[in-house]
Amino acid sequence: MILHICQWIEATTSSQALAGSIWTYPVIESLHTIGVAAFLGLLLVWDLRLLGALFTRVPVTEVWARLIPWITVGAVFMIATGVALFWAKPVYSWGHIFFRIKIAALALALANAAAFHVGIERRVVDWDLAPTPPPAARVAGVISIALWAVIVVAGRLIGYNWFPQLV
């Protein structure tokens, strides 16, 4: 099923143009890499605040409110460039073990963010000013940082074709 979708994408003119481009593909790849610094960098500020490791005297909700517009723009940018990279090599990507690891880690990162949102964040007024947030918030921060590290490492390894293709 997924393989068929990937094969369909690969047959499109846009996919073939992207994969065969001399400059467009590497430029998108570079932009995706720059996005790591911008998007993940600011997400890291947030995660470190949750850990009580950075900006401990700034209210948690204030860090969130001031950073979320940038993080949102960065996320849209990362998704757009990421989808374009996938669009150029869908079958290769789907067959790559580290692509699947990356997608799984992304899903877990989203689940972690959702769990935080419906869990400890509901009582944020109680710990908004706390230099060190409660354990549940710190756990969410640690899990987020760990998963994003996996996502970055796996993302880089997709670029290497040493691994046996799964499809």
Partner 1 sequence: MLHVLQWLEATYASMMDSSWAASLHLSVWLFALTEAAHLVALAVVGCAVLIVDLRILGWGLTRQPVAQVAREVRPWLIGSLAGMAATGFVMFASYAASKYYIHEAFRTKMWLLAAALVVTFTVRQWIVTGDDTRARHPLAKLVAVVSVLLWTSVALMGRAGLGYDLY
Which residues in the 71-110 window bind partner 1 by CB under 8 A?
Answer: none
The one-letter code for the residue type at 3 is L
What the block records as the tokens of 144 is 């987020």
Query: Is residue 113 within 8 Å of residue 68, measured between CB atoms?
Result: no
- Residue 127 engages partner 1 in binding (rule: CB under 8 A): no
Q: Which of 73, 114, 153, 166 binds partner 1 (CB under 8 A)?
A: 153
148 binds partner 1 (CB under 8 A): yes
Q: Locate 113 and state its tokens.
A: 């963010």
Structure token pair of residue 32: 């995706």
Asked if residue 62 binds partner 1 (CB under 8 A), the reply is yes
Among 3, 37, 166, 167, binds partner 1 (CB under 8 A): 37
Tell me which residue of 87, 85, 45 sits closest to 65, measured CA to CA. 45
**73 touches 43 (CB < 8 A):** no
Q: Is 128 near partner 1 (CB under 8 A)?
A: no
Give me the least distance between CB of 118 and partner 1, in Å please: 26
The contacts of residue 122 (CB under 8 Å, 6+ apart) are none
What token pair was written down for 71? Answer: 């993080």
Residues that bind partner 1 (CB under 8 A): 22-23, 25-26, 29-30, 33-34, 36-38, 40-42, 44-45, 48, 54-55, 58, 62-63, 66-67, 70, 148-149, 152-153, 155-157, 160, 162
